[in-house]
Amino acid sequence: MYMIAGLGNPGRRYTGTRHNTGFEALDRIALHSGASLNMHKFEAEYGTAVIGGQKVLLVKPQTYMNNSGIAVGGLASFYRIEPENIIIICDDINLPVGQLRIRPKGSAGGHNGLKSVISHLGSEDFPRIRIGIGEKPEGWDLADYVLAKMPQEEQAVMDEAYTQALEAAALIAAGETVKAMNLYNVKKKPGGEG
């Protein structure tokens, strides 16, 4: 069994913010697969789907971002899902808006949600799909930037990124991580083409 967890912050006030990119991508996957996240356990909303030919748990932690590992670790333990079968989707301020970076494993890279997941799983050996939200502008506080609503002009680019995240997650679940990296770890050209 696989797990795909989108990281974000629960509650209406965080809907549409940059830090909720993982939630947005997971919603796209749930919609595409016809899954509903109607189960509640380990401080998570989740449901099941078939993605890339695999039975998958789709998970939205309902803690705040910094404690995302409670849900991911709890469900992984309960359903006996190994770290290498857990795909995490989250935002990345070090990537241009809408650009994906897929890695089969690695450090948290300063992302508090990933830090929490690593801590609760006791492993860095899980694939992750990071979606660029752009660098924080000069003079902005980091928390203010990531918790700000995504501007309208970036929505089309992010929309494409969510579709790519769905496709990448399906490839990873099918055992095609390298193919997903080759397809989607491509630098975006200015103007959103890439």
Instruction: Give the residue numbers marked as catalytic.
Output: 19
For 20, 49, 110, 149, the CA distances from 15, given in Å and listed in that order, are 7, 23, 23, 8
